[in-house]
Amino acid sequence: MSLHIYDTSTRAIREFVPVEAGRASIYLCGATVQAPPHIGHIRSGVNFDVLRRWMTRFGYDVMFCRNVTDIDDKIIRVAAAEDVPWFVVAERNQRAFTWAYNTLGCLPPTVEPRATGHVPEMITLMQRLIDGGHAYASGGDVYFNVLSYADRYGSLSNQKVENMRAAADTDDESCKRDPRDFALWKGEKPGEPTWPTPWGPGRPGWHLECSAMATKYLGPTFDIHGGGIDLIFPHHENEIAQSQAAGDGFARFWMHNGMLKIGAEKMSKSLGNSLLIPEMVKKVRPVELRYYLAAPHYRSSIEYSEEALLEAAAAYQRIEGFVTRAAEVIHDVDAHAPLPQAFADALDDDLGTPQALAVVHEVVREGNVALSRGDKEAVARLLAETQNMLDVLGLDPRSPQWRGAGSDLAPVVDALVAVALEQRKAARARKDYEAADAIRDQLAAAGITVEDTPHGPRWELSR
């Protein structure tokens, strides 16, 4: 494996060399849970899930930290509008995000810290910054002193301090020494949750949360920090400033995924054009939605259309069709078969999923030709290659995730369907076609489609 990654901070492709040999540490900015997720949110989860799977495939011990911002101005506003406690909004929407990540086949993070559980670490970080002259307390708030870090502030977003606008993250700008200073801690306000600090009660600022959580779980210097391109400024810029000003090396690589747009507008809740995950999986199966989000290069923007979504679903079904037919001929697949070199090269080149999927489709075409010729040796090799590539992408149709009821219940479903199909086979053998059709209808009513093939009946979840 010779992974090369586009690093936003240097604006160049760099070879990935981990801080610690054999280990990879990744911090992904997760959800701010003021609302349920749309596909723009979950795209980030899918992209970095592919990165994690690719690293794991080649032996890295991956520590994957994806945070939850469960206290924020937006959460407080939603709670006030609904007249419910802030934690009700946060908990409800965190569960919605967890369901969405799971539904689209994202592996659970190694650790998933909540901001509200890490206030002590935030207090320690603020004290280090104050002691170093990089932060100050004012009117119950604590601010980062941007001019104390002016020689490096703006390096990630390629801006100069003198050209930056005010941070605009507080109601009373008079508390700041400079309007560009950003809030590390927000002093107590009526009706808002508070935590005690040496500078008075209040709640954390958004940027402070991620620095405290990332360094707690991944150490003062770690490998990769990821998130959407919309987070480069101010969020990630501020994370770098406060972390490095405190003496931490922080992230060595910065990876940012592109936005998902509708009509050339960035996906956002404020535009009212969110495509929520529960609605999307009514249009296509979850695995087809994952294919749609994983197929473009992670740094590209996606212009959403239902036509493009259905085209992606059809493309995945062509792959799935070969795997299904080949598995009826080849029962034991070599899970350790080598990956095609072109596939590995594509992912090593800044996680090039479009080129990697092109290799998958080419192998599938060869596999279909081998099936038509009855060349079982070639089918076995090409099926193994296909499934191993799909496993890296989280798209193997024969994995328990996509076969129906989840990893725990899939064997049970398999067994129950097998019994029903045996009963149907017996009915057909005694020419009791009415009973055979009734069994198929009962399976269809349960969401299971049966297809008769030369190799026997085949079943799948109804589309």
List the structure tokens of 184.
């590390």
Averaged pLDDT for residues 276-303: 96
Measured CA to CA in angstroms, residue 326 lies from 164, 301, 317, 331 at distances of 59, 35, 14, 9
How are strands ordered across the β-sheet holding 141-144?
Answer: 135-138, 141-144, 182-187, 202-204
Distance between CA atoms of 52 and 38, rounded to whole angstroms? Answer: 22
pTM: 0.89
pLDDT digits (tens, 9 = 90+) for 80-127: 999 999 999 999 999 999 999 999 999 999 999 999 999 999 999 999
pLDDT digits (tens, 9 = 90+) for 12-47: 999 999 999 999 999 999 999 999 999 999 999 999
Angle among Cα 254, 64, 51 to the nearest 5 degrees reads 60
Q: What is the pLDDT of residue 435?
A: 76
User: What are the structural domains of the chain?
Assistant: 4-257 (3.40.50.620), 304-403 (1.20.120.640), 410-461 (no CATH)
Q: What is the pLDDT of residue 243?
A: 98
- Three-state DSSP class for 241? helix
List the structure tokens of 311.
């085209």
DSSP string, 30-75: --B-SS--BHHHHHHHHHHHHHHHHHHHTT-EEEEEE-BB---HHH
Dihedrals phi, psi of 430, to nearest 5 degrees? -95, 15
Q: Are 213 and 67 in contact (CB under 8 A)?
A: yes
Q: What is the pLDDT of residue 460?
A: 67
Q: What is the pLDDT of residue 407?
A: 42
Q: What is the pLDDT of residue 210?
A: 97
Angle among Cα 343, 345, 347 to the nearest 5 degrees reads 75
Distance between CA atoms of 218 and 248, rounded to whole angstroms? Answer: 12
Residue 230 contacts by C-beta under 8 Å, 6 or more apart in sequence?
259, 266
More confident call, 70 vs 414: 70
Dihedrals phi, psi of 179, to nearest 5 degrees? -60, -20
List the structure tokens of 446.
């349960």
Q: What is the pLDDT of residue 335?
A: 80
pLDDT digits (tens, 9 = 90+) for 44-93: 999 999 999 999 998 999 999 999 999 999 999 999 999 999 999 999 99
**Euclidean distance between the first and the last CA atom of the chain, given in angstroms as a whole number:** 38
More confident call, 315 vs 418: 315
pLDDT digits (tens, 9 = 90+) for 211-238: 999 999 999 999 999 999 999 999 999 9
pLDDT digits (tens, 9 = 90+) for 428-462: 888 877 877 787 788 778 778 776 676 666 666 66
Taking 3-state DSSP, the helix, strand and coil percentages for the chain, each rounded to the nearest 5, stand at 50, 15, 35
Q: Which residue has the tokens 């495509």?
A: 275
Peptide bond just before 234 cis, omega within 30 deg: yes
Side chain identity at 294, as an amino acid letter?
A: A
If pLDDT is split at 50, 70 and 90, which confidence band does 406 have? very low
Summary mean pLDDT of the chain: 92
If pLDDT is split at 50, 70 and 90, which confidence band does 268 have? low
pLDDT digits (tens, 9 = 90+) for 312-371: 999 999 999 999 999 999 988 888 889 999 999 999 999 999 999 999 999 999 999 999
